[in-house]
Structure 1
Amino acid sequence: MREKGSTAMLPATSAEMSRLLTAVRRGRVLTVAGAFREPRSLLVREIARRIASNFYDGVALVAMDPLHGGYGVRELTAELGSAPGMAEPACGRTDTASWLAERDILLVLDGAEQLGPDALAWLRKVLAVAPGLRILAAGRSPLAFEQERIHRL
């Protein structure tokens, strides 16, 4: 049986949801991968909602528009700076990395297949200097980060 969300059925059982919540708490990067955007998005947003209180600085959700055509570092940091859940604006590559390095925060990347190689490289560098940062991504394929956990739909 699948769990009911606010408007739709979650694409995860209670046991799967429990494992996913644990994976976010214990790991650095969890990617929900699958062909269809809506189930991936629904699942990562529900995980983020349930686990937000585990992070002192909460959750920052970056919902990437599939019609945008790709997100580089500049576009990603601009979206991050205006993301719901961000305590203060983060501007520019260096400022955003420094800001994230001081936070205990869950960064949710919904539509991660839109990230360009430069944005992925930047996120890897930020993970290396931001011990309180966790990434929860939803995309067609994994991010290919070190120590990434993958849940396939």
Structure 2
Amino acid sequence: MSRLLTAVRRGRVLTVAGGLREPRSLLVREIARRIASNFDDGVAVVAMNPHHGGYGVRELTAELGRVPAAPLPPSGTANATWWLAERDMLLVLDGAEQLGPDALAWLRNLLAVAPGLRILAAGRTPLAFEQERIHQL
């Protein structure tokens, strides 16, 4: 656990990958709980529904707008990008295999403009981001 906490603190993207959804989900949520105080703006957990059929940028930002700890302003993806760019926070993506290519591209762009943002993802496979660290379950 301590190696994963350090990987989140020092890196930009950590993906917990593996076949079973529940262990991945429990692990990233525990990491988020333990490390939340390290971020001025806390942690935003987005739990993606496996029956949804895929999350594009619009669906992802809508889910971010529903996060109680850090609700986004409801004015579209451009404003969401700039709002998140000013945050020091951990974004947890539980069920990241549901992200579509446009959502992944948006997240890559977001990392480029948001220096205080870290991503902790749980999915069957890695996100394939350049700066990503992978923990295989």
TM-score, structure 1 normalization: 0.87
Q: Please report how far the alpha carbon of residue 89 of structure 1 lies from its aligned counterpart in structure 2 after TM superposition.
A: 3.4
- Say yes or no: does 1:85 pair with 2:43: no
Alignment match of 2:4 (pick from 20, 40, 52): 20
User: 1:135 is matched with which residue?
Assistant: 119
Letter in 1 for 2:120: L
* 8 Å contact from structure 2 (residues 88, 117) kept in 1: yes
* 8 Å contact from structure 1 (residues 60, 83) kept in 2: yes
User: 1:31 is matched with which residue?
Assistant: 15
User: 1:111 is matched with which residue?
Assistant: 95
User: 1:61 is matched with which residue?
Assistant: 45
- Judged with a 3 Å threshold, the aligned counterparts in structure 2 of structure 1 residues 90 and 104 are, in CA distance, closer, same or farther, namely farther
**Partners in 2 of 1:70 and 1:118 — Cα distance?**
11
Q: After the TM superposition, which segments of 4 or more aligned residues of structure 1 sit over 4 Å from their partners?
A: none
- Percent of matched pairs sharing the same residue: 82
Q: CA RMSD in A?
A: 0.9
Corresponding pairs, count: 137
- Say yes or no: does 1:144 pair with 2:115: no
- Judged with a 3 Å threshold, the aligned counterparts in structure 2 of structure 1 residues 90 and 138 are, in CA distance, closer, same or farther, namely farther
Q: Please report how far the alpha carbon of residue 90 of structure 1 lies from its aligned counterpart in structure 2 after TM superposition.
A: 4.7
Letter in 2 for 1:50: R
* 8 Å contact from structure 2 (residues 17, 124) kept in 1: yes
**Partners in 1 of 2:24 and 2:100 — Cα distance?**
19
Q: Relative CO higher for 1 or 2, CA cutoff 8 Å, sep ≥ 6?
A: 2
Q: Please report how far the alpha carbon of residue 85 of structure 1 lies from its aligned counterpart in structure 2 after TM superposition.
A: 1.5
Unaligned ranges ≥5, structure 1: 1-16
Counterparts of residues 92-107 of structure 1 (less than 5 Å): 92-107=76-91
Cα deviation digits, residues 60-105 of structure 1 (max 9, x gap): 0000000000000000000011113215535311011000000000
Letter in 2 for 1:113: E
* 8 Å contact from structure 1 (residues 32, 150) kept in 2: yes
Letter in 1 for 2:47: A
TM-score, structure 2 normalization: 0.97
Q: Which structure is larger by alpha-carbon Rg, 1 or 2?
A: 1
